[in-house]
Chain A
């Protein structure tokens, strides 16, 4: 028989060492398919590192990729802390993105200091609304939010396609299902000349800091943690569990909506239905890797973005299939997740009771 129990007070070295060790193991495992494809793993890893840190451009690409992951990672981490399983960040991301082009692509021609905050607020609000509805269904009818938020993703995506071929379609777009571009003054300013990394990253980092602080230091965070760890005790102690759930639902949805704002108003400038290559779902992995800690989300998002961007660049440089890059990404994620699990829990072999 195997029993799993949480480790109490794991040592610092242990907590840091295990993730690093699992990253190393993942690289060793990923060498197998690379060898099979005829590539030299050492060179391949060299290319991977160069693809992320080899130039300012490479670094900028990695940070650009990490930005939406920080938003969606925070969205998942905060909701999961309250045991509210928001699997719908992907849909909420698109709700936020739709709000951006609905207001920012010429509907309202206001100066930037009006338009940009409005875009951000509306995008966050749209994402929040997208999470409030399933939370209401959960609280009122006991509908499992894993199911409702997950399925809402598909509804929202189809709704998006309808909008992109209808009211939101760019009249100048030659019939392509894409939105009109966001006005220049409605765009998040880039951080560097001729680079793609934009100020959405700054917003993400600031929000991660605020979330970390609020979770540990505020009454709101206290209630959130109590509700997540033991809802019955929280309720018994007089904490309004439903209010806490609605609060964190709104914030989680808003963060996912901001990922959409950041991608449209920070990077692409217009909206298509392939805006996100699954940032909402990857955000869940980011949050789990981070142990649901907001600051950890930043680190995990940087790690995952590095693996993505590095593996991509490696497959291009080495001339191996891009599927191999996906394989490397998946293996390293699995290794780090298993490692993270082992760092938090111990697995005991229990002897059968003696006769």
Chain B
């Protein structure tokens, strides 16, 4: 291809032709349907916003386009240089690149110690070339920069560039490889508002030259401001598609969070006294997801408090404080009115908090140890489990036999490694471990993520049961339906702040999650 022709108008005259078509893509992971019959088209020079909550299937869909996953059904067509749609071989990461589809991930893949120019050309040169034609590469890149406005210092090591500049380098990398279609995964997640505006101006400039763009986002404001068309994914299905000109914020918010009826029946119940009090609790984290900014929170007995929010807004920090993994940098934590002086996981367990961790494989179980051992791992001091430092193996086995019965944990037996269990059964193992100790407070962090309907309903039933018994529950979830169905009271977490939602109004909560004034 001629130099500097990434999206030169001469080569790709503006027409309204389709450049990308996804036909009925479906992907299942075990029992989880990540994408169900999703079809999309993208026209030349168009900006398509792909909206949806976390777990809605946006990333899976793009991973199929890029050949990282092989779809169970469906096909992908990409226009060739002459604008004729060609079927794309699936499951081959190189095929999408070769067909002119470039992706810029949320997390950049740049080598920090070499300069932007080399980062851009890296990997697109023949492995065994004797010398590199750096001058040709440089002039091609400079041509792209001039037409797109994507300014980036080419001679500076990437490690010294700002986040916005790094992102421009990533985009330049895709354009350098003659991308005609660009996919941006949450491009503004790491940018300041000013940088974001500049980015979208650049995108506009590029689309005028014939580039087509898909950008993944859950920020309504920028979607409405900068896209031509909006497609909304929810629970793996495309639930709506409209021209941005016809869209209004409320309709999109409703589409994103859905309008299903709650699945688990919840009866009203008068709450009791407070079991958990957070007062002005801050956590100084290294990233947004690990940061809390002076939050107040009270959970009472007989109450499920739902924490709604888009992932990465401080949920991890909140969960870590309640489970004892993170010490607050300021503020007070009280369980049953008693200040937790030195927070640690052991102290929180002792104070009567049952924890259902977000990542059940990573934090919930020790996969190489047996089901029976995992059942008692939180109470190794208990005389029922040990006497004088030696494990009471019969008691541990009997305990596990009883709990696997009571909680319907299915697998190859209590002596088998817990990693042999399915995700749903691992969660049941954790439920058994937590609920068996009749905790005063339960922290359930994304308790149904990745579970099938049956297992998810079981989790909901157990949480309601604990509430009836008198426990307080903190339910952190990115699935608003789950929170609406289970929670007595809802708070929204955004950017490390917690605010009372005040109602079960789906639209209002959806807007609060997205950071829009309600």
Q: Which residue of chain A lies nearest to B359 when distances are taken between CB atoms in the complex?
A: A232
Interface residue stretch chosen among A213-221, A260-268, A280-288? A213-221
Q: What total of chain A residues lie within 8 Å of the partner, measured CB to CB? A: 25
Is A32 an interface residue when CB atoms closer than 8 A count as contact? no
Asked whether A219 lies within 8 Å of B386 as measured between CB atoms, the reply is yes
Docked-complex contact B363 and A238, CB < 8 angstroms = no
Nearest Cβ on chain A to B387's Cβ, whole angstroms: 10
CA distance A236 to B349 in the complex (A): 10
A-B contact pairs, 6 of them (CB 8 A): A218-B389, A219-B386, A219-B391, A232-B363, A233-B377, A238-B349
Chain B residues with CB below 8 A from A240, complex form: 344, 346
List, in ascending order, chain A residues with CB within 8 A of B386's CB.
219
Determine whether the beta carbon of A355 is less than 8 Å from that of B349.
no
Asked if B373 contacts A235 (CB within 8 A), the reply is no
* Contact between chains at B366 and A219 (CB < 8 Å): no
Interface residue? A354 (CB, 8 A) = yes
Asked if B325 is an interface residue, CB under 8 A from chain A, the answer is yes
Within 8 Å CB of B355, what residues of A?
A: 236
Q: B362 near A238 (CB under 8 angstroms)?
A: no
Is the Cβ of B364 less than 8 Å from the Cβ of A236? yes
| Interchain CA distance A232-B363 in the complex, whole Å | 5
| Chain B residues positioned under 8 Å from A109 (CB to CB) | none
Contact A233 B365 (CB under 8 A): yes
User: Are A218 and B391 touching (Cβ within 8 A)?
Assistant: yes
Q: A355 touching B365 by the CB < 8 A rule? A: no
The 8 A-B pairs of least Cβ separation, nearest first, read A238-B346, A353-B91, A355-B89, A229-B368, A238-B345, A230-B366, A237-B377, A236-B363
> Which one of A226, A236, A354 lies within 8 Å of B369 (CB-CB)?
A226
Cα distance A225–B370 when bound, in Å?
11
**When the two chains form their complex, are residues A222 and B373 in contact, meaning their CB atoms are under 8 A apart?**
yes
Give the number of residue pairs across the A-B interface with Cβ within 8 Å: 84
**Residues of A that sit less than 8 Å from B by CB:** 8-9, 217-220, 222-223, 225-226, 229-230, 232-240, 352-355
Instruction: List, in ascending order, chain A residues with CB within 8 A of B348's CB.
Output: 238
B391 contacts A230, C-beta separation under 8 Å: no
Pairwise interchain contact A230-B367, C-beta atoms closer than 8 A:
yes
Choose one: A217, A223, A230, A238; the contact of B378 (CB below 8 Å).
A238
Give Cα distance in the complex from A1 to B108, angstroms: 26
Q: Is B420 an interface residue (CB 8 A)?
A: yes
Residues of B participating in the A interface, judged by any CB pair closer than 8 Å? 70, 89-92, 95, 323-325, 344-346, 348-349, 355, 357, 362-369, 373, 377-378, 380, 385-386, 389-391, 393, 416-417, 420
Q: Taking the nearest CB of chain B, how far is it from the CB of A72, in angstroms? A: 25
Note all chain A residues with C-beta closer than 8 A to B92: 353, 355
Whether the Cβ atoms of A233 and B346 lie closer than 8 Å is: no
Max count, chain A CB within 10 A of own CB: residue among B323, B344, B362, B363: B363
Contact A230 B89 (CB under 8 A): no
Residues of B contacting A217 in the complex (Cβ-Cβ under 8 angstroms): 390-391, 393
Q: Once the chains are docked, how many angstroms separate the CA of A355 from the CA of B380?
A: 52
With both chains docked as a complex, state the minimum distance between the C-beta of B509 and any C-beta of chain A, in angstroms.
Answer: 29
Contacts of A234 in B (CB 8 A): 366, 377
Collect the chain A residues with CB atoms within 8 Å of residue B380's CB. 219, 222-223, 239
> In whole Å, how far is B293's beta carbon from the nearest beta carbon of chain A?
24
Q: Does B344 lie within 8 Å of A238, measured CB to CB? A: yes
Report B-chain residues with C-beta under 8 Å of the C-beta of A222: 373, 377, 380, 391
Question: Interface centre among B355, B367, B369, by most A CB within 10 Å?
Answer: B369
B175–chain A nearest beta-carbon distance, Å: 27
Question: In the complex the two chains form, is A8's CB within 8 Å of B420's CB?
Answer: yes
CA distance A325 to B377 in the complex (A): 48
Q: With a CB–CB cut-off of 8 A, which chain B residues contact A219?
A: 380, 385-386, 389-391
* Closest A residue, CB atoms, query B320: A236
C-alpha gap A154/B348 in the complex (Å): 44
Give A231's nearest chain B residue, CB to CB. B366
User: Once the chains are docked, how many angstroms separate the CA of A86 from the CA of B348?
Assistant: 33
Task: Give the contacting residue for B367; candidates A218, A229, A236, A353; CB below 8 A.
Answer: A229
Q: How many angstroms between the C-alpha atoms of A222 and B355 in the bound complex?
A: 21
Give chain A nearest CB distance to B275 CB in angstroms. 19
Check if B349 sits within 8 Å of A233, measured CB to CB. Answer: no
Shortest CB distance B95–A (Å): 8
Say how far A40's CB is from chain B's closest CB, in angstroms: 47
**A344 CA / B363 CA spacing, docked (Å):** 25
Closest beta carbon of chain B to A201's beta carbon, Å = 27
Q: Are B363 and A355 in contact (CB under 8 A)?
A: no
Q: Taking the nearest CB of chain A, how far is it from the CB of B284, in angstroms?
A: 19
- Give the complex CA separation of A218 and B393 in angstroms: 10
Measured in the bound complex, the distance between the Cα atoms of B345 and A229 in whole Å is 18
**What is the CA–CA distance of A218 and B362 in the complex, to the nearest angstrom?**
24
Q: Which of A8, A223, A237 has the most CB of B within 10 A?
A: A237
Contact partners of B369 in chain A: CB under 8 A? 225-226, 229
Bound together, the chains give a CA A239 to CA B324 distance in angstroms of: 12
Question: Which residue in B368, B385, B389 is a CB contact (below 8 Å) of A220?
Answer: B389
8 Å CB contact of A226 from B364, B366, B385, B390: B366
What residues of chain A lie closer than 8 Å to B90, measured between beta carbons?
A: 353, 355
A9 to B415, CA, bound (A): 12
- Bound together, the chains give a CA A1 to CA B106 distance in angstroms of 28
Q: Which residues of B contact A352 (CB under 8 A)?
A: 91
- A233/B366 contact (C-beta < 8 A), A223-B380, A353-B70, A354-B91 known: yes
Closest to A354 in B: B91
Known: A226-B366, A230-B368. A236 touches B323 (CB 8 A): yes
Say yes or no: B349 contacts A230, CB within 8 Å. Answer: no
In the complex, how many angstroms separate the beta carbon of B92 from the nearest chain A beta carbon? 6
In the bound assembly, the distance between CA atoms of A8 and B417 in angstroms comes to 9
Contact A218 B390 (CB under 8 A): yes
Instruction: Please indicate which of the listed interface residues B92, B345, B349, B416 has the most CB atoms of chain A within 10 Å of its own CB.
Output: B345
